[in-house]
Amino acid sequence: MLAGITRNPGKPGHYVTAYLRRSLPVAAFDINCHKFPAKSDVERDSETFIIDRMKLRALILLLCMAPAVLAEGLPDLGDLSQVDFSPIVEKRTGEAIMRDIRLHEPTYINDPEINGYLNRLGARLVSQSLEARQDFEFFALRDATLNAFAMPGGYIGVHTGLIMATRSESELASVLAHEISHVTQHHLARQISTQSQGQLPMLLALAVAILASRNHADLAQGALMTGQAASIQHQLNYSRDFEREADRLGLQLLERAGFDIRAMADFFERLQKYGRLYENNAPGYLRTHPLTTERIADMENRIQPRPYRQIADSLGYLLVRAKLKAHEGTATDAVVDFASQLREHKFSNEIATRYGYAVALTRAKNYPSAEQEIAELHKLKANSPMIDALSADLRKKQNDLPGALKILQAAQTRYPQERGLAYALVDTQLAAGQAKEALRFTVDDLQSYPSDAHMHELQARVYSALGKHLQQHRAQAETYALQGQLLMAIEQLQLAQKSGDGDYFEQSQVDARLRELKQRHAEELKEKKK
């Protein structure tokens, strides 16, 4: 299967990361190889994430570091079916995967408004679960395909294509509820734990093929279409029993959270019809979540006794969809599309359509016209942090920093938990030369959100503007530490030690934090060798 696939980064300075990814159409393993300056083995190993006590990472690293792809002679890994994939291991694995996605996945949407909405929606569902004993994080990937996937540790990704394919917020909630149920029932962990050693070489071989396909798609395409690939995919698909269980629990979450329970059956039935029409190009979601007529019938039977309830979509759902739509294709095409909808009154919600139009106009740098749409939104008495953020951004783009600050300060007071507004406020304060004000805000904000890596990064910029180099490096170190980049965090703290502008108390804090991170780094290296 792997004949000819020999272009692996077998050079010093390369390292490999691997993570489970249900968004892939054929396999659940995705491998990214990233190039860095040549480093010592210890440094390189520390920058790879650790799949706790799993020998899998070591083999994948071997595959990428070797001079050629290993088609045979795979080392004896022992009985991987006996791997202890406990909840703790699940969480640590998921955290490592998520760090890699944030840093290296090009489709990851680093948008606090979109991800913030998904997390509010997800939290509403999780709060109704009787079995949720962990935190969840929801995030979006800019991908037009219809897919969503759950990773170990409560991390749930949603393709923008799926968000746009939903016809109501209840339909989107039904997908999240289904994925939440996969997590609370530990379906993925249970499948991984039952993989036999005999299946693993095929899985790894296909992973290498996927790696090769990133640069040589035609080379690996044949490998991906083999019966072996289909066999591996079959092993990684959720079983019918798991799917039925996720359906049942997902329906319960929907009902308890106040959504339209008919949405799940409606959306899945539409996916099934789409899959039949395009048999060779079925949505990725159907490939990893086998959908049967019996499942849909079972959902409908459970729904039938319930009284019909019409549930209105939230403004957040409508605005997120409008924002995603406004970023599709070229800016010009987006402007024309929204303008046509408004001119011909072909919209279901005027506020969302005008907001999308304003976003498209902003993309096209037609700021005066975008301002006019904001004014129309105010006439419609539309209240949303997303509208306020866009209004402030328009002011900033037109060099009206006082105007932008006024909008952001008022909005931040109304919506104190909106991370996007907090980031925009600090960024605008820096642009306006208000570093002291920005420092006061970041200090207060990090009291409430100490694990916000982006706010630590903004604080590093604030300290730099104030000429406080020790604190600048210390804040940047916290950014890297939260991202799992311990060596880079250690380097920043060492720079803080050498800055020479801190008092005794600040220097002591840096020294203590440096010792702590060095200990963490040593423990991770030790754990990796187990």
5-59: pLDDT as tens digits: 333 333 333 333 333 333 333 233 333 333 333 444 434 444 333 333 333 333 3
Q: Is residue 463 part of a domain?
A: no
Q: What's the whole-model pTM score?
A: 0.78
Residue 280 is predicted with a pLDDT of: 53
Sort 58 into a burial class: Cβ within 10 Å, 0-12 / 13-18 / 19+.
Answer: middle
Last residue of a domain, one of 265, 291, 313: 313
- State the Cα angle at 248 between 245 and 250, rounded to 5°: 100
Distances (CA, A) of 171 to 163, 265, 439: 9, 9, 42
Q: Are 201 and 324 found together in one domain?
A: no
| Number of other residues whose CB lies within 10 A of the CB of residue 136 | 21
Number of domains in the chain: 4
Rounded CA-CA distance 358/347 in Å is 15
| Number of other residues whose CB lies within 10 A of the CB of residue 322 | 24
The answer to whether 356 and 391 have CB atoms below 8 angstroms apart is no
- State the Cα angle at 394 between 390 and 396, rounded to 5°: 115
Q: Provide the CATH number for the domain around residue 397.
A: 1.25.40
Q: Are 399 and 427 found together in one domain?
A: yes
Q: Which residues contact 508 (CB under 8 A, 6 or more apart)?
A: none
Q: Are 271 and 371 found together in one domain?
A: no
Last residue of a domain, one of 260, 292, 313: 313
Extract the tokens encoding 339: 């303008």
Q: Are 202 and 260 found together in one domain?
A: yes
Q: Is residue 459 part of a domain?
A: no
Q: Are 187 and 205 found together in one domain?
A: yes
Residue 38 is predicted with a pLDDT of: 41
Q: Which residues contact 262 (CB under 8 A, 6 or more apart)?
A: 170, 303, 308
Q: Coil, helix or strand for 130?
A: coil
Q: Is residue 255 part of a domain?
A: yes
pLDDT tens digits in sequence order for the chain, 530 residues long: 333 333 333 333 333 333 333 333 323 333 333 333 344 443 444 433 333 333 333 333 333 333 333 333 333 323 333 345 677 777 887 888 888 889 888 999 999 999 999 999 999 999 999 877 778 999 999 999 888 888 888 999 999 999 999 999 999 999 999 999 988 888 776 666 655 544 444 444 444 443 333 333 343 444 444 444 444 444 445 567 788 888 889 999 999 999 999 998 888 888 877 655 545 555 666 666 666 677 777 778 888 877 777 899 999 999 999 999 999 999 999 999 999 999 999 999 999 999 999 999 999 999 999 999 999 999 999 999 999 999 999 999 999 999 999 999 999 999 999 999 999 999 999 999 999 999 999 999 999 999 999 999 999 999 999 999 999 999 999 999 999 999 999 999 999 999 999 899 999 999 999 999 999 999 989 877 76
Per the structure, the complete domain to which residue 423 belongs is given by 384-449
Q: Are 152 and 75 found together in one domain?
A: yes
Q: Are 306 and 339 found together in one domain?
A: no
Q: Coil, helix or strand for 150?
A: strand
Residue 296 is predicted with a pLDDT of: 76
Q: Is residue 12 part of a domain?
A: yes
Q: Are 216 and 361 found together in one domain?
A: no
Rounded CA-CA distance 413/410 in Å is 5
Q: Is residue 174 part of a domain?
A: yes
Q: Are 248 and 108 found together in one domain?
A: yes
What type of residue sits at position 205? A
Q: Is residue 167 part of a domain?
A: yes
Q: Is residue 454 part of a domain?
A: no
DSSP string, 483-495: TT-HHHHHHHHHH
DSSP string, 273-320: HHHHHTGGG--HHHHHS---HHHHHHHHHHHTTSPP---PPPHHHHHH
Residue 64 is predicted with a pLDDT of: 33
Q: Are 82 and 43 found together in one domain?
A: yes
Q: Are 4 and 101 found together in one domain?
A: yes
Q: Is residue 461 part of a domain?
A: no
State the alpha helices, DSSP H only, in 380-468.
385-397, 401-414, 419-431, 435-448, 453-465
Rounded CA-CA distance 136/183 in Å is 9
Q: What is the dihedral of CA 234, 236, 237, 242, to 10 degrees?
A: 120
What type of residue sits at position 301? N
Q: What is the dihedral of CA 300, 303, 309, 315, to 10 degrees?
A: -70
Last residue of a domain, one of 418, 449, 480: 449
Q: Are 472 and 399 found together in one domain?
A: no
